[in-house]
Structures are given as C-alpha cells and as structure tokens.
Amino acid sequence: MSKRRVVLTGVGVVTPVGNDIDTFWDSLINGKTGVDRLKAFDASNFNSQIAAEVKGFEPDKYMNPKQSRRLDTFVKFAIAAAKMAVDDSGMDLEKVYKEKAGVYIGSGIGGLHTIESEHEKYLKAEDPEKAPSKISPFLIPMLIVNMASGLVSIELGFKGPNSAAVTACATASNSIGDAFKIIQRGEADIMVSGGAEAATTKMGFGGFCALKALSTRNDDPKRASRPFDKDRDGFVMGEGAAVVVLEELEHAVKRGAKIYCEMAGYGMSGDAYHMTAPSPDGDGAVRCMKASLADAELAPEDVDYINAHGTSTPLNDKMETGAIKTVFGDHAKKTWISSTKGVTGHLLGAAGGAELIACAKAMETGIVPPTINYETPDPECDLDYVPNEARKKQIEVALSNSLGFGGHNATLVVKKFKG
C-alpha cells in the first residue's frame, strides 16, 4: 500500500523571542536572543541565574480567565500555540470532519508550576490535619503531561487520535513524527502536533543546576547560549510551545491550504548508554538520522540544511558534529548547519517543534537562520554552522535533530512541496 503524502499547513508559537510566528522568525534570522537574567524568582543562590523566559504572554486571548486559573502554564502555552497554528492554516473548523482530526502534543516535564505551588500550600497549612483539604481538586488534571493534548482536542473538538509523547528534549519531534505517521497510515486527515514546556520553576531550574548542565555565564546572559563555540559551558533553560498543523495532501489541496513544506521522513532511536549523557560515538544520533533519510527515500547529499540539536553543552555539540560527519561523509562540509538555541534557549519538550518550524520558514523564505554567539571555533566542531549572520539559500530538503535525556533521539526531514 502506498504511503499517503503529508504536508505542513499551519504553525503556532509561544517562545522567549515572540508569541507569534512573525516575531519569532524575525528574532531567529536577526539573532535577537531571548536570554536574560531570570525573573520568575530570586535565583541569586543558584549557580546559574539566567534563562530564556516567555515574555508578554496573554492567556486571556486564547481562553477565559476561569479556565486559565485551572490550567498549568505549559497547557496554556499549548492551547495558545495550537489555536495560532489552526488560524494560520486557514482551516474552517465548522467544515472539519472531527473524527478524522487528532491532536498529538507532548511535554518533557509537565506541570511543575502546579506541583510546586500545591505542595507549598499543603506544607503551609496551619493545621496538619486539614492540610489535605488545601490540595486543589484540579491538581492531577493540571499537572499530567497528556493534558495539553487533551485540552487542545476539547478546544478544537477534534475526536481523532489523541496522544502525547514524553521523551525529554525529543518530545515535540517524536510527537510530530508520530502524528505524521498517523496521517500517512490513514488513521487521520489532520493532526495538530508539537510540544509545550514551562519548567522554569525553583525545582525545575534547580534540578538542571544540580546536574551542572546550565551555562553559568551570568554576567553576560545574551552571549551565554553559544552552540558549537569552543567556550560553551552549558545550555540555557527556556520555555514555550510550538505546534504545527499536518494534513493529508489531498485534504489540504481540496480546501486551498497554504503549504509550507512536505513531511518527508521520520527516524527515532535509543542510545542505551546513559541517563543524561549522549553516547560519545554518536551511535544513536547516527542511526536516527539514517532512519529518517531512509524513510524519506533521500540520500545525505540531498540535504541542504540541518537544524541541529546544538544545545551549547560540551558533550552534545561535539557528539552531534561527529554523528553528522558519519552520516553525511564529505557532504557534511557542504551542508549548512545551525542551532537556533542561541536565540531561543533550550525549550526542552517544545524545542523540536520550534526547530521544525524554523526549517519550514527557511524553506518558505530562502533564509537560513544563524548560530549566534559563535566566536571561537572548536577544533572538534569544525563544520559550517552559519555563524552569526543569516544566509540566503533555496532549501529543497531540511533535517531537524532532537536528542533527549534517557537516550531518546528523533529526526524529522521535510522537503519543498512541488505538487
């Protein structure tokens, strides 16, 4: 049975550098970083004191105030991004066959804001016997990861396949890849998919600090996230949501949809190596990229642009560079590679969605976003990372990598739609 073709027709974002697609894209191509001193709480006792926080988000534009009070921040981000994506797609919800429309939105961590605030209320109860009564009846539905997908499906009325990947920093890419396959198999005609994250809390942030995973360039936050640079010292924690609308090709063409690009391939793999560190030889990333290209029926030489996972950590950037060399051979030196995390910080479970959208916009505009803060070349990271300035190029095929704690790897391949 031939595979059904799947296209990307809508995008929506809530990010540290813009809560709409135009502002987000302008920030990426002009290197306007969202990293700054952390404002959510007093971080003066933490070894890292910087983050990429969402700014100016107005939940009341997307839901009523009563509903908003009953939702964790990551779910609010997801609903907003999903509604933006559907609006961008030009889809008339009144004409959608809802049983063939689904939602697949994940989160790497889920409702940390809710867990921490509710636990604090429990501990502060004056009468220990009455402490349990202080717990909100909405605690569980507010914190569980699948609620982003569940609430978006309720908001849109979509009754088709509904699920949520939870694969750390590979979450959004796995969610989008799985949604792509659901349509390809004929189980849905429309999927709203991506990732959402809001874990910049005392415990979430503190946990990454304890891991020594975050940059401590506290005196110069805007230059702290520096993927592939020799002086990188860790990633910068971010938050937000990124959601896309995927459609079966004939369904999209029939309604006259704008098509950003065509979904071409999806690969995933496991390192089976370590809880947090990537396999030094890049074996998992290599197999993942190879699987995505095989699924797309494309050769490495067909790829024009790679949006790298590129976290700005010493281990990841070196490993990913080696993996790209292994997969692409001589073509690795000719392929343009960039990490947009210098601008956005690391959006964790939402990262893969934002980075796939960056690929789609690069394909649409012919502009490749740069890797900012690239100042000192690293001999072990010696490829073309489009340093500091965006470049113009017609992109026919783009690849996006996402690599998560636990050894989860996901790669998406998109190509220019040609009818």
Strand-pair category, 240-248 with 190-197: antiparallel
113 tagged catalytic: no
Q: For the chain, how far is it from start to end, CA to CA, in angstroms? A: 20
Structure tokens at 54: 């969402």
From the list 242, 170, 306, the residue with the least C-alpha distance to 11 is: 242
Is the Cβ–Cβ distance between 30 and 390 less than 8 Å? yes
- Give the sheet arrangement for strand 408-415, strand by strand: 162-163, 101-106, 190-197, 240-248, 6-14, 261-270, 408-415, 397-404, 305-307, 336-338
Which listed residue (169, 288, 359, 381) is catalytic?
169
Structure tokens at 245: 């609308």
Query: Which one-letter DSSP state was computed for residue 231?
Result: T
CA distance linking residue 304 with residue 84, whole number of Å: 29
Distances in whole angstroms, Cα of residue 195 to Cα of each of 60, 181, 292, 398:
20, 17, 20, 20
From the list 220, 231, 236, 218, the residue with the least C-alpha distance to 374 is: 231
CA distance linking residue 7 with residue 366, whole number of Å: 18
Which listed residue (113, 251, 346, 408) is catalytic?
346
346 tagged catalytic: yes
Q: What's the 3-state SS for 102-133?
A: EEEEECCCCCHHHHHHHHHHHHCCCCHHHHHH
Give the largest CA-CA distance in the chain: 69
Which listed residue (309, 359, 381, 408) is catalytic?
309
Active site amino acids: 169, 309, 346
